[in-house]
Chain A
Amino acid sequence: MSAAPTQARVETSLEGDRLVAVLGGVWRITDPLPAWAAVIGDRRPRAVAVRLGELGRWDSSLVRYVHEIERWCRDAGAVCDVSALPATVRDLAALLAQARETRVPFDHSHNLLAVVGVAATGLGRQTRDFSDFIGQCTLSALGLLRRPGRFRWRDCFTEMQQCGAMALPIVSLISLLVGLIMAYQAAVQLRQFGADIFVADLVGLAVVREMGPMMAAVVLAGRTGAAFAAQIGNMKTGEEIDALETLGIAPVEFLVLPRLVALTVMMPLLALYANCLGVLGGMFVSASVLDIPPSAYWIETQTVIDLSDVSSGLLKSLVFGIIVATAGCLRGLQCERSAAGVGQAATSAVVTGILLIIAADAVFAVLFNVLGI
């Protein structure tokens, strides 16, 4: 078993039916160590005596090794003699043996029924939290109408710039591409009937009534909703929210309202912008693929879209703005105080936001149909 003098080594010799194991060399936890199972082989001594020989620097790996020998002896019914070891090693090995016995598993797993039950009650609690939060927002907003001087205009404008102006590039790209895609799809079908010009009707109506507001809302849910949740969540982790509350400042008024107002104002503007670029995308495809001059396309778009189409889209985007801001801020305030909690808050802000956007859109579809708008 002998190797370079610096390496940990175990030399064994038999004295009658007693095995003498001499531990030597440098025992470092980061180095490979001789395996006890290989050292002992298929020998079954009645007693094992552990001694030290030319031991260099040592650490926990030696303690663990001694513990392993002791355990092997106990399992094999052999007598283990470690009295030749220094007291420090013996004590640490005893501590390890004792700790292994006192270990009480702390079970974080649950059974299936419990998980389902927790999830179900959690859903009820979430609904209550959400309505509670909306109530708080409404009350703060009403309080604000009485005292508009207390509103954090500066924060509101910063957020407007963040969620509005800074989102222009991504909103431009996505709505232009959505317009392009729809025009292509429509062109293939409508061309068969010689109804090329109706591409303008289809793209115009679909973009203005649905896709423009929807795309703007989805982009902002991913971009701004997640940012709100992460920012507020991180503030909560750092006890900044607590500091606000103990100062008597309602976090809803201080943090949520400026963001809510900013997003509610910017969302319809972005939706309007997305409408224009969507129509532009359709116009580009019609001009390049269907040979419809842009002027004809524009006149056709103007005749088919009236104010009620545009305003119904903008009304929806107003609601989407409220949804995205509320979901982001609520998830941020519900955040658990840890790094993982902030990540979960951002994720669930996006998921909640998009889910509610689609649900609200469905409600609007039915409502507009009934009202005949």
Chain B
Amino acid sequence: MNTNTEPLPAAAAAGPDAPVVEVEGLECRFGDTVVLSGVTFAVRERELFFVIGGSGCGKTTLLRHLVGLLKPAQGTVRYYGEDFTNADLGARRALLRTFGVLYQSAALWSSMTLGENIALPLEQYTPLNRRERDEIVTLKLAQVGLAGFEDYFPAELSGGMRKRAGLARALALDPRIVFFDEPSAGLDPVTSRKLDELVLQIRDTLGTTMVIVSHELASIYALADRVIMLDAGAHGIIAEGRPRELAAGSGDERVRDFLTRGGEKA
């Protein structure tokens, strides 16, 4: 597939630097335990944005707040300038349709074939007829390199294929933003690198903004335009910027340690 860099109409429509996701003063807590507080950042259109940090620092929790599975104790999440946190049901549904989520375990519905998994969002939200839907399903599967696997059940696939199928489902409605939870979890380095290439390719062809939660250094260096780093002790963001610059010149030892695996040359 092509990786050309000609400016896409998709990007031209909104300014290239307009933030698509804005998080302001977000506080996440479970009962009396504060997991994150004062989290503020913005993700720009077409950006590959990484949320990084050690295990247990609240990366996945932050992601679950962004996609609305958890309600923040304080603060707001805005998409394209529109308030998502306090939106009413109708507006919320409309915003939900503009992003796709790929869960850590792919979360494909086990009783449906891959084709049916991808067709479900299309059945729910598009006026397409059956034949047109099938064509979109074929296209989505081909885009993730699974052409011809429409009639397989998730249980009949390997872990890497399931991840890619999950990505195809997340892309079904051509979302402007895709959220990834640990794309490389449980994958070998080669499969994981292929998934990274796929992510890059999708961003370049479709102009999709990607928000990726990860602690995989190889992926972070290969893909990330910008990262924010969370820390369990600080309950929030301790660094923001380009990964290589942070690794070389961050004033915070925790950030340098993380990005260089505790001093090892990256």
Question: Is the beta-carbon distance between A31 and B127 smaller than 8 angstroms?
Answer: yes
A30→B9 CA distance, assembly (Å) = 18
B142 and A339 form a contact (CB under 8 A): no
Residue from B6, B10, B135, B148 whose CB has the most chain A CB atoms within 10 Å: B135
- Do A88 and B147 contact each other (CB < 8 Å), given the known contacts A60-B136, A64-B135? no
CB distance from A50 to the nearest CB of B (A): 15
Is A86 an interface residue when CB atoms closer than 8 A count as contact?
A: yes
In the complex, whether A87 has a CB less than 8 A from a CB of chain B is: yes
Question: CA A63 – CA B139 in complex, angstroms?
Answer: 9
Residue from the set B2, B9, B125, B132 with the largest chain A CB neighbour count within 10 Å: B9
CB of B126 closer than 8 Å to a CB of A: yes
Which A residues between 311 and 362 are near B, CB-CB below 8 angstroms? 336-340
B150 at the interface (CB under 8 A from A): yes
Within 8 A of B (CB), among A290-322: none
B13 interface residue per 8 A CB criterion:
yes
A98 partner, pick from B128, B136, B142, beta carbons under 8 A: B142
Q: A63-B139, A64-B136, A64-B139 are in contact. Are A340 and B174 (CB under 8 A)?
A: no
A64-B174 Cα distance, complex, nearest whole Å: 12
A251-269 interface code vs B (CB 8 A; 1 in, 0 out): 0000000000000000000
Residue A373, interface by CB 8 Å:
no
List, in ascending order, chain B residues with CB within 8 A of A61's CB: 128, 136, 174
The proximity string for A residues 24-36 relative to B, scoring 1 for CB distances below 8 Å and 0 otherwise, is 0010111111000
Q: Chain A residues with Cβ under 8 A from B69's Cβ?
A: none
How large, as a class, is the contact surface on chain A? Answer: 35 or more
Evaluate whether A339 and B151 lie within 8 angstroms (CB atoms) in the complex, with A64-B139, A96-B138 already known.
no
The answer to the question of A56 belonging to the interface, with a C-beta cut-off of 8 Å to chain B, is: yes
| Least distance between A346 CB and chain B CB atoms (Å) | 15
Q: In the bound complex, what is the Cα–Cα distance between A337 and B97 (angstroms)?
A: 31
Q: In the complex, which of the residues A30, A102, A104 contacts B97, with contact meaning CB atoms closer than 8 Å?
A: A30
Q: Is A191 close to B, CB under 8 A? A: no
* Nearest Cβ on chain B to A333's Cβ, whole angstroms: 18
Q: Which of B10, B149, B151, B205 contacts A108 (CB 8 A)?
A: B151
Residue B155 at the chain A interface, CB threshold 8 Å: yes
Nearest residue (CB) in B for A106 is: B151
The contact string, 1 if C-beta is below 8 Å from chain B, for chain A 77-95, is 0000000001110011001
Given contacts A98-B147, A103-B150, A338-B111, contact A88 B142 (CB under 8 A): no
Q: Say whether B10 contacts A29, CB under 8 Å.
A: no
| B141 at the binding interface (Cβ < 8 Å) | yes
Q: Is the CB of A338 within 8 A of B155?
A: yes
Q: How far is the CA of A58 from the CA of B10 in the complex (A)?
A: 6
Say yes or no for A149: interface residue by CB 8 A criterion: no
CA of A68 to CA of B6 in the docked complex: distance in angstroms?
25
Which residues of A have CB within 8 Å of B135? 64, 67-68, 96, 100
B window 195-227: CB within 8 A of A:
205-206
Q: Does A86 contact B110, Cβ atoms closer than 8 Å?
A: no
Q: Closest CB of chain B to A344's CB: distance in Å? A: 10
Contacts A87-B4, A96-B142, A99-B142 given; does A340 touch B110 at CB 8 Å: yes
> Closest residue to A57 on the B side, CB-wise?
B13
Among B149-183, those with CB < 8 Å from A are 149-152, 155, 173-174
> Contact mask A94-135 → B, CB, 8 Å, 1/0?
011011101111111000000000000000000000000000
Chain A contacts for B127, CB-based, 8 A: 30-33
- Contacting residues, chain B, for A100 (C-beta < 8 A): 135, 138
Does the CB pair B111–A104 fall under 8 Å?
no
Chain B 81-122, CB-CB to A under 8 Å as 1, else 0, gives 000000000000000010000000000011100000000001
The residue from A59, A95, A102, A107 contacting B174, defined by CB atoms under 8 A apart: A59
Give the residue of A59, A102, A338 whose beta carbon is less than 8 angstroms from that of B147. Answer: A102
Q: When chains A and B are docked, how far (Å) is the Cα of A339 from the Cα of B2?
A: 38
- Output the nearest chain A residue to B13 by Cβ-Cβ distance: A57
Please determine whether A104 and B148 come into contact, CB atoms closer than 8 angstroms.
yes
Residue of B nearest to A93 (CB): B139
Given contacts A59-B206, A60-B140, A338-B111, A95 and B1 within 8 Å (CB-CB):
yes
Instruction: Tell whether A276 is near chain B: CB-to-CB under 8 Å.
Output: no
Chain B nearest CB: distance from A359 CB in Å?
A: 32
B139 touches A96 (CB 8 A): yes
Report how far A337 CA is from B154 CA in the complex, Å: 11
Which has the most chain B C-beta neighbours within 10 Å: A26, A88, A96, A337?
Answer: A88
Is B250 part of the contact surface with A, judged by Cβ < 8 Å?
no
Q: CB of A55 within 8 A of chain B? A: yes
Please state if A60 and B139 are interface contacts (CB–CB under 8 Å): yes
The 7 closest A-B pairs by CB, nearest first: A59-B174, A99-B142, A99-B147, A338-B110, A106-B151, A340-B111, A96-B139
A-B contact pairs, 7 of them (CB 8 A): A33-B127, A64-B132, A102-B147, A103-B150, A108-B151, A338-B155, A340-B110
